A = this chain, B = another copy of it.
Amino acid sequence: MARWEGGAPDRLRAAAIDLFATRGFDATTVADIAAAAGLTERTFFRHYIDKREVLFQGQDVFEQAFVDGLYDTDSDDPMAMVRGALAGAGAWFDDERRPTSRTRQLVIDANEGLRERERLKLGTLAERLADALAHRGVDPASAVLAAETGMAVFHTAFVTWIAEGETRSFTEVLDDVLSRLRNLAAG
């Protein structure tokens, strides 16, 4: 059992991820999560709609980090803007967050409904990035392709970053994946 620090939302989130990982997502109730965090169910529902939301809350802020990173990139090159978007989100992935990110992903991978939800979130994010690229003057077909390819790069970089034994920062992994993509695409 980890020591809970921070406010109620953080304590509930840590307790939930811990329980989902040990007991399974389906077998964990909101009552279990509240009890493990030393809080009431009422407090739980003050912060989260349901137990699934614990894993996905904050998505809007996370998406905004991608969009900000894209607009903050000086270059007009589509993949440079995509790199900017991914690096912007990379600020979320520091060493302190790595163990929780790893456990959260194991929980999601183990449950089909959660995997669907995550895929949809990545799809929505790809659409936002494509819109932002088009807004910055990229033709629509290239914008969709660059955004979707960016999600492929993000997924690959994230899986690599949370792998056991990986010590490089998210940005280092990201640049490695982008260089790999250049080589792959060149054939």
Cα separation A149 to B186 with both chains bound (whole Å):
13
CB pair B148 A152 closer than 8 Å: yes
Measured CB to CB, the residues of A under 8 A from B are 77-80, 112, 115-117, 119-120, 122-123, 141-142, 144-146, 148-149, 151-153, 155-156, 159-160, 177, 180-182, 184-187
A-B contact pairs, 17 of them (CB 8 A): A77-B187, A79-B184, A112-B120, A116-B116, A116-B117, A116-B119, A141-B180, A142-B184, A144-B155, A145-B177, A145-B181, A145-B184, A148-B151, A148-B156, A152-B152, A181-B185, A182-B186
Residues of chain B with a CB closer than 8 A to A145's CB? 152-153, 156, 177, 180-181, 184
Residues of chain B with a CB closer than 8 A to A148's CB? 151-153, 155-156
Residues of chain B with a CB closer than 8 A to A77's CB? 187
Residues of chain B with a CB closer than 8 A to A149's CB? 149, 152-153, 181, 184-185
Cβ-defined partner of A123 (8 Å) among B115, B141, B144, B184? B115
Residues of chain B with a CB closer than 8 A to A177's CB? 141, 145
Q: How far is the CB of A57 from chain B (nearest CB, A)?
A: 18
